[in-house]
Amino acid sequence: MKYKEYGDRANLIAYSDEGRVFETIGTIKPNNAIDVDSLMVFLHTKEYMSIVSAYYEREIIVNDFDRFDVCKEMIRQIPFDELNILVLNAIKSRRLQVKSRRINNFFFSKEHNELNQISLALNLNQATGLDLLHVLSNSFVD
């Protein structure tokens, strides 16, 4: 996981829509636990089915009514490190599907993945996004 190398230098940054400013509001601590209930709400049906199939190395045959609950309990049994990799692979697969839909976003690259999420969430135009990139680039000088 690429963020482990940042260690104590990583911070939590908040955005104020009123003042249109970013500010550091604290440091982050690694969390090596996954809330499976939240994860299941986040994942699409095909994604959690593929996670279960990949880990247990077999197709899961279950009716549509029980699929969510059965997969949730099976995912709950997967060790954290393995589940983390499987979830990331599922999300990367989703990203490839989104990319094929030709989203026109100026930060859409591996290098600026987090900025892409911020720009989509805040509906930033290109000029505001580039201003944000400039401010963030100059804020982390050691």
Task: Give Cα separations from 47 to 3, 95, 102, 119 (angstroms).
Answer: 24, 12, 21, 25
Is the pTM value of this prediction over 0.95?
no
Cβ atoms of residues 119 and 107 within 8 Å: yes
Other C-beta atoms within 10 Å of 57: how many?
6
The three-state DSSP-derived secondary structure of the chain is CHHHHHHHHCEEEEEECCCCEEEEEEECCCCCCCCHHHHHHHCCHHHHHHHHHHHHCCCCCCCCCCHHHHHHHHHHCCCHHHHHHHHHHHHHHHHHHHHCCCCCCCCCCCCCHHHHHHHHHHCCCHHHHHHHHHHHHHHCCC
Which tens digits make up the pLDDT trace of 50-65?
999 999 999 889 999 9
pLDDT tens sequence across 14-46: 887 777 788 888 877 777 778 999 999 999 999
